[in-house]
Amino acid sequence: MKFSLIIPVAPYRNAEILESINKLDFPKKEYEIIVENGTNASENRNRGFEKSRGKILVFLDDDGIINNDLLNNAEKFFKEHPEIDIVGGPQLTPLDEKGFAKISGYALSSKFGGWNTSNRYEKKKLNLNADETYLTTAIMFCRREVMDKIKFDTNLWPGEDPKFIRESKNAGFKVAYSPDLIIYHRRRPTIKALIKQIFNYGRVGPLGEKFSETLKKPFFLIPSLFAMYLLFILELTLFGINNIILSFPLILYGILGLLFSIYESMKNQDINGIFLLPFIFLTIHLSYGIGRIWGHLEKTLKKRR
């Protein structure tokens, strides 16, 4: 058997992706579908691996939509690049997404919105030396040999993907990104859901890596520094202190936010983005920054216990 499709599903959710899996243009005897229910996606994936029989494990999110040629494209990729052990592709916003969810997809795929992690949310060029900024388990193809050695950390959900990829690369496995392996992934439909999602991404970052590793990627610290800066400015304002020099970073941020909002709106041909994107960008940056601060505090408290 060539492929094992492993889909983690929370008890209160439905596996929407099964609808498009049933339309796959690939011999059914060459793949199996494993749906694992549970509150921890990492545990679900690890259990799914134990039950699987395929040479290639295919991790997919339950709320995604895939094209019917996905497995054909994956088979072609591994034939052309037999040295690759893990490969993923872009998680694009579904074409039928509307309103807040659709526009938040513009922000996630923007450099201003997520810096290098924006690579995950739009089609990029083929990369045969990719890292965790390019792919996640929303769509990930993985040889069995990888999971014989590396498992998903059940304590890091929902941020276990970066650690899994880093540990795989450290163990000598090759990671790639292919623009032909696509999943259309649902976005959070409300600002509350987006805040929770991005906060958790920020929170688990410090839990899954040493601070020395974080310092190698300083751009991930900028949202936290910006959140602390805003708190500082707020305190000065409450005491009646106004300083144009100290306000310069905030003014610059506002200008950049507006310019990128206009650019992303024009790029996606959606004028509504001009009005919503400045607030979505701010929501993403503060949620991630505060989440990362929280993660460092949580890690420190665990060490003292």
Residues 94 and 196 in one domain: no
Cβ within 8 Å of residue 153, ≥6 positions away:
42, 160, 163, 164, 208
Check residue 204 and give its pLDDT.
Answer: 85
Convert the pLDDT of each residue in 7-54 to its tens digit: 999 888 888 999 999 999 999 999 999 999 998 999 999 999 999 999
Q: How far apart are CA 57 and CA 140, in angstroms?
A: 8
Nearest one of 80, 36, 38, 39 to 57, comparing CA atoms: 36
- If pLDDT is split at 50, 70 and 90, which confidence band does 216 have? low
Residues 59 and 151 in one domain: yes
Tell me the angle at which helices 191-207 and 99-108 cross, rounded to the nearest 10 degrees: 30
Residues 176 and 200 in one domain: no
Residues 36 and 160 in one domain: yes
The three-class DSSP label of residue 37 is strand
User: What pairing do the DSSP bridges indicate for beta strands 183-185 and 139-143?
Assistant: unpaired
Last residue in a domain, options 166, 185, 204? 185
Check residue 220 and give its pLDDT.
Answer: 78
Domain containing 42 equals: 3-185
Q: How far apart are CA 114 and CA 24, in angstroms?
A: 32
User: What pairing do the DSSP bridges indicate for beta strands 91-92 and 64-66?
Assistant: unpaired
Check residue 211 and give its pLDDT.
Answer: 66
Number of H helices, E strands in the chain: 12, 9
Three-class SS of 197-223: HHHHHHHHHHHCCCHHHHHCCHHHCHH
Residues 115 and 228 in one domain: no
Residues 133 and 196 in one domain: no
Residues 206 and 290 in one domain: yes
- Residues above pLDDT 90, as percent of the chain: 75
Q: What's the total number of domains in the chain? A: 2
CA atoms within 13 A on the CB side of 195: 8
Residues 181 and 200 in one domain: no
Residues 53 and 161 in one domain: yes
Residues 164 and 203 in one domain: no
- Residues above pLDDT 70, as percent of the chain: 96
Tell me the angle at which helices 244-267 and 99-108 cross, rounded to the nearest 10 degrees: 110
Instruction: Count CB atoms within 10 A of the CB of residue 190.
Output: 12
The three-class DSSP label of residue 20 is helix
Beta strands in the chain (DSSP E): 3-9, 31-37, 56-60, 64-66, 86-88, 91-92, 139-143, 175-177, 183-185
Residues 13 and 125 in one domain: yes
Last residue in a domain, options 185, 208, 238? 185
Structure tokens of 112? Answer: 């201003």
100: domain CATH number is 3.90.550.10
Q: Which amino acid is at 71?
A: L
Last residue in a domain, options 185, 200, 227? 185
- On whether the pTM is more than 0.85, the answer is yes
Nearest one of 78, 68, 70, 81 to 24, comparing CA atoms: 68
What phi and psi values does residue 16 have, to the nearest 5 degrees?
-60, -30
Of 40-44, 86-90, 160-164, 252-256, give the lowest mean pLDDT range: 160-164
Convert the pLDDT of each residue in 267-284 to its tens digit: 999 999 999 999 999 999
- The answer to whether the CB of 266 falls within 8 A of the CB of 173 is no
- The arrangement of strands across the sheet holding 183-185 comes to 64-66, 183-185, 91-92
Residues 178 and 40 in one domain: yes
Q: How far apart are CA 77 and CA 81, in angstroms?
A: 6
Q: How far apart are CA 103 and CA 66, in angstroms?
A: 21
